[in-house]
Amino acid sequence: MSFEMTVAWGDCDAAGIVFYPNFFRWFDTSFQHLLAAKGLDQRSLVSRFGIIGTPLADAGARFIRPATYGDLITIDSHVSDWSEKRFTVGHVVRRGTDILAEGHELRFWGTRDAETGRLGAAPIDPDFKTLMIS
């Protein structure tokens, strides 16, 4: 799934290049677009699957080339790996054919313990996995 956007002035630092935390915000936005392409969003995950969402357990990025305001960028996102309770979303950020950054988000199938209220992970519903693979 691809998500296109134009880099805004407010996304940049004093040097006129994208301030790195914005890439992580864009990764999350791109994941939300990936869910929407499958007919899902965070609220529907709660109502349909009974979870609290897909919280992050880890995130990382490799920055290859800078981006600046006015750049039209494309973020390609897909689920790249599955385990019983977690899945990895891979992201590639491009300006035209140039790769600007590569990143990942490790997300888990979030639940909350009824007694303690503690956040935990449960086995991923097979229907969610089927939707995301198709």
Integer Cα distance of 50 and 102 in angstroms: 32
Q: Is residue 127 flagged as an active site residue?
A: no
pLDDT (0 to 100) of residue 123 = 97
- As a whole number of angstroms, the distance between CA 45 and CA 69 comes to 34
pTM exceeds 0.85 for this model: yes
Q: Which of 11, 13, 76, 113 is catalytic?
A: 13
Domain interval for residue 19 = 2-133
- Domain of 52, CATH number, reads 3.10.129.10
What would you measure as the largest C-alpha separation in the chain, in angstroms?
A: 51
Chain CA centroid to CA 90, Å:
8
Separation between Cα atoms, residue 75 and residue 47, nearest integer Å: 28
How far is the C-alpha of 76 from the C-alpha of 3, rounded, in Å? 6
Residues with pLDDT less than 70, the chain = none
* CB-based contact 27:103 (threshold 8 Å): yes
Number of compact structural domains in the chain:
1
Amino acid sitting at position 111: T
